[in-house]
Amino acid sequence: MDSALLIHRLHFAFTVTYHYLFPQLTMGLAPLIVILKTIAWRTGDERYDQAARFWAKIFGINFVIGVVTGIPMEFQFGTNWSHFSRFAGGVIGQTLAMEGCFAFFLESAFLGLFLYGEKRLSKGLHWFSAVMVFLGSWLSGYFIVATDAWMQNPVGYQRVADGSVQLTSFWQLVLNPWAWWQYAHNMSGAVITGAFVMAAVGAFYLLSEKHIEAGRIFVRLGVIAALFVSVFQIVPTGDEQGRMIARHQPVTLAAMEALWETQPGAPLVILGQPDVANRHIDNPIVAPRMLSFLTWRSWTAEVKGLNSVPQKDWPDNIPLLYYAYHIMVGLGTIFIAVTAIACLLLWRRKLYESRWMLWILLLSFPFPYIANTAGWMTAEFGRQPWLVYGLLRTVDGYSKMVSAGNAWFSFLGFAGMYTVLSILFLFLVRREIEHGPEAVVPKGLREQIDRLTPAEVR
Amino acid sequence: MATVWFMIVAVMVAIYVVLDGFDLGAGAVHLFIARDDDERRTVIRAVGPVWDGNEVWLLAAGGTLYFAFPQLYASGFSGFYLPLMMVLWLLMLRAIGIEFRHHVQEPVWKGFFDTIFGLSSILLAIFFGAALGNVVRGVPLNADGYFFEPLWTNWRVGQQNGILDWYTVMCGVVALVTLVVHGSLFLANKTEGELNRRARNVASWLWPVQVLLTVFNLIATVWAVPGILTNYTRWPIGYLVPAVVIGSLIYMYFAHARRNEKGAFLASCAYIIAMLVGAVFALYPNVLPASTGAQYNLTIYNSATGVHGMSVGLVWWSIGMLLAAVYFVFLYRMFKGKVKLEEGTTHGY
What's the pLDDT score for residue B337? 80
Residue B159, SS3 per DSSP: coil
- Exposure letters A158-195 (e unless 16+ CB within 10 A, then b): eeeeeebbbbeebeebbebebbbbbbbbbbbbbbbbbb
Minimum distance, in Å, between the CA of residue A130 and any CA atom of chain B:
14
Angle, CA of B132, B137 and B143, to the nearest 5°: 110
Using a CB cutoff of 8 Å and minimum separation of 24, what contacts does A334-338 make?
A334/A367, A335/A192, A335/A196, A335/A226, A335/A230, A335/A233, A335/A367, A335/A368, A335/A371, A336/A227, A336/A230, A336/A231, A336/A234, A338/A364
| B237 part of contact set with chain A, CB < 8 Å | no
Nearest CB to B88 within list A71, A100, A109: A71
Alpha-carbon distance of B303 to B145, in angstroms, equals 9
Residue A41: its H or E element: helix A23-43
What's the pLDDT score for residue A456? 54
Q: What's the CA dihedral at B65, A108, B175, B180 to 10 degrees?
A: 170
Q: Residue A388: beta bridge partners?
A: A392
What's the pLDDT score for residue A120? 78
Alpha-carbon distance of A157 to A164, in angstroms, equals 10
Domain ranges, ordered by start, for chain A: 3-247+312-457
Minimum distance, in Å, between the CA of residue A305 and any CA atom of chain B:
37
Mean pLDDT (10-residue bins), chain A, 458 residues: 85 96 96 94 89 92 91 92 92 91 88 82 88 94 95 92 88 92 95 96 94 92 95 91 91 91 89 90 89 88 90 92 94 95 92 92 96 95 93 92 92 95 93 85 60 54
What's the pLDDT score for residue A414? 96
Give the distance, in angstroms, between the CA of residue A433 and the centroid of all CA atoms in the same chain: 22
- Using CB atoms within 10 A of its CB, is residue B202 exposed (0-12), middle (13-18) or buried (19+)? buried
Closest CA to B316 of A150, A98, A91: A98
Which residues does chain B have with pLDDT short of 70? 342-349
Taking contacts as CB-CB distances below 8 angstroms, the residues of chain A near B62 are: 74-75, 100
Taking contacts as CB-CB distances below 8 angstroms, the residues of chain A near B73 are: 77-78, 85-86, 89, 93
Closest CA to B288 of B12, B79, B59: B79
DSSP A377-428: HHHHHHHTTEEETTTEEGGGTS-TTS-HHHHHHHHHHHHHHHHHHHHHHHHH
Chain B residue with minimum CA distance to A91: B67
What's the pLDDT score for residue B99? 86
CB contact under 8 A, B70 and A75: no
Handedness of CA B209, B212, B213, B214 (dihedral sign): positive
Beta strands in A239-370 (DSSP E): 263-264, 268-275, 280-287, 302-303
